[in-house]
Every structure is written in structure tokens, then in C-alpha cells.
Amino acid sequence: MDNPYAPPRAEVERAQPPGPVAHYTPGQVGFATFLGTVLAGGLLLSANDRASGNPGRARQTLLLGIGFTVATFVVAFFLPDNFPNIVIPLATTFAMRSWAQQRRAEWVRQHGEPEKQSAWRALGIGVLCLVLMVVLIFGSAALSDSLAL
């Protein structure tokens, strides 16, 4: 006699994204990173993972983007005053663009060329992250000045 409470014995396939998938290109990720720090690039790569039907990887990518953004600011705080200002933005942009190229190549190998996500949306995310960083930096500076009084 079969157990009526047993789960079904059917095999469950991994969910595939419906229809064509649109990804942000490595150039879009690099540009957003240059404008809005690693956080913006992480948001775009996370959106690519979500569109690909991989929410766990999307969450991990977003957390890595946040972590690397914090690490970048910590490193920048301890750099000498005469350190060239452009080095960190170029290094983070190159790193995020390379990561996006690696992820895109992996997707193309398995599924073919994805559609291109909106460049205006990538620009908007980069600008929003830039505004967020400016508010956080100036807000923390104002708060530290007010606490020091």
C-alpha cells in the first residue's frame, strides 16, 4: 500500500528563463561602475543573474558588489594624499568589466547570445549610485562634524 502523504516521484527540472533574456553588456557594467562605484556594476551583474533565472547567484553578486564598494572606500581612506585620483575608479571599472565579460562568455557558451539591456537604464543606475555615494559621503562628513562640536 502506497503512502498517500509521500511527495510525488516526478523529476523536477530547473526553471529556465521564459523567452529571450536581456543582459547588460560588459561595457554597460564598466560605465555604470565608473559612474557609481562597484555598487552600480554589482547591481547590473545581479540583474543579469536574476534575468537568467539564478536568484541565489544574483544575491551573492549584489552582496559582493556592496562589500567591494565598502572595501574600496576603506582602501581609499588610507591612501596618501598625493595618490592619483583616477587609479581607483579605473581599476574598479576594469575589474567589473572583466567580471562581466567572464559571466557573459559563460552565458553565451551555454545559451547563445542574449539580448542587450537598455543602456539608458544602465546609465540611470550608475547615476543613482553616484548620487547615493555623494549623499553618504557628505552626510557622514556632516554628521562627524556635528558630533565633534
pLDDT the model gives residue 111? 86
6 domain-assigned: no
1 domain-assigned: no
pLDDT the model gives residue 48? 95
Say if CB 115 and CB 28 are below 8 A apart. Answer: no
pLDDT the model gives residue 126? 97
**Which stretches of the chain score pLDDT less than 50?**
none
140 domain-assigned: yes
pLDDT the model gives residue 123? 97
Number of domains in the chain: 1
Residues facing residue 22 across a β-bridge? 115
Print the domain residue range for 67: 24-148
105 domain-assigned: yes
pLDDT the model gives residue 12? 66
pLDDT the model gives residue 90? 96
Distance CA 3, CA 142 (A): 66
Say if CB 42 and CB 69 are below 8 A apart. Answer: yes
Residue 122: all three cell numbers together = 544602465
pTM value surpassing 0.75: yes
Rounded to the nearest angstrom, the gap between the alpha carbon of residue 3 and the centroid of all alpha carbons in its chain is 47
Which residue in 122, 109, 99, 98 sits closest to 22, CA to CA?
A: 122
9 domain-assigned: no
